[in-house]
Copies of this chain bind each other. A is one copy, B any other.
């Protein structure tokens, strides 16, 4: 047995599904190149197998549940949640090596996290801390993005794009002016910045009940955990009214499907007291519109980069201080690949 996925870090946790996607039904999903079948056992715990029967590599996700086991619907081989073959209709003898690869799967923060590499190394404490997702008012969106996950990470770590890509809703001038202070520790990159005296954009005005165009302060902490999460803990307030600040977080999880596209799961948590249903609804609409703007931009960027690569054109590219987070994120990912 050889393991694929050299292109992506495999000894790492990736979000494989939103928790509510897992149940009795067999869910098929590509994760860093491999077909995976996911389901939930009778006791509620989730499990994940390579989506390929040990007999003739037929997708197990086309099979059916028998209790906690999966029966392949081609020749009827049956496998338990750890991938061990437990029944072969046409043979009393079950070969010892009749085993489908299984993947550690941990449920946390309303998501199922999968470990695609050596199971011995699958330490749940390596799942990034996103404790703020355990509580509060949240909106959620999922996008299947036709672009590499690193483009998405770099988008999220460099908010100087916001006044351009999301000018209509989230843009304010300081986003492209105040260079974050960035540090790297192990597989984590943290950037912080304080923006003072900017201008309240429409989305935050609507969600927080501020006045669009009025002076506003904005703090951000970006936390990248290699290879695949970017969380941004933020606070906004009308300038001079820090006591009435509105804390919120955006939490982004990106999992390569292995064929050039990316599963992209996102949450926005509104963390102040007394969030109104109208605020949450406005946030939901706004977050989806903003995500769609990023999708359009990143897919265009990917197509351009693909074309240049396909034709051997390698222009010099320049980086600026705002790119420090992105550059460190690449280094953190690269270190996981070694």
Contact = CB atoms under 8 A, between A and B. Distances in A.
Interface of A: 1-6, 30, 33-35, 50-52, 54-59, 62, 72-76, 85, 88-91, 93, 95, 97-101, 154, 158, 160-161, 163-165, 176-177, 179, 258-259, 297, 300-301, 303-305, 307-308, 310-322
B35 A308 contact: yes
B59 A301 contact: yes
A308 B1 CA distance: 12
A319 B97 CA distance: 10
Contacts of A320: 55, 88, 90-91, 93, 95
A258 to B, nearest CB: 6
A164 B313 CA distance: 42
Nearest to A8: B311
A57 B301 contact: yes
A301 to B, nearest CB: 5
Contacts of A3: 313
Nearest to A30: B307
B316 A1 contact: yes
A315 B55 contact: no
Given A35-B308, A76-B160, A90-B177, 12 more contacts: A3-B313, A54-B317, A56-B301, A58-B301, A59-B304, A72-B164, A73-B164, A73-B165, A74-B164, A74-B301, A75-B160, A100-B315
Contacts of A99: 316
Contacts of A161: 74-75
A314 to B, nearest CB: 5
A304 B74 CA distance: 13
A89 B174 CA distance: 10
A34 B304 contact: no
Contact of A316 (B6, B30, B54): B54
Contact of A163 (B72, B76, B312): B76
Nearest to A76: B164
Contacts of A57: 301, 304-305, 308, 315, 317
A208 B95 CA distance: 39
Contacts of A93: 320
Given A33-B307, A164-B76, A91 B58 contact: no
A320 B88 CA distance: 9
B300 A97 contact: no
Most buried by B among A1, A58, A310, A314: A58
A188 to B, nearest CB: 23
A128 B72 CA distance: 34
Contact of A313 (B34, B85, B95, B301): B34
Contacts of A176: 75-76, 89-90
Nearest to A178: B90
A4 B255 CA distance: 32
A258 B257 CA distance: 28
Given A57-B308, A300-B58, A312-B6, A321 B91 contact: yes
A4 B160 contact: no
Contacts of A304: 35, 51-52, 57-59
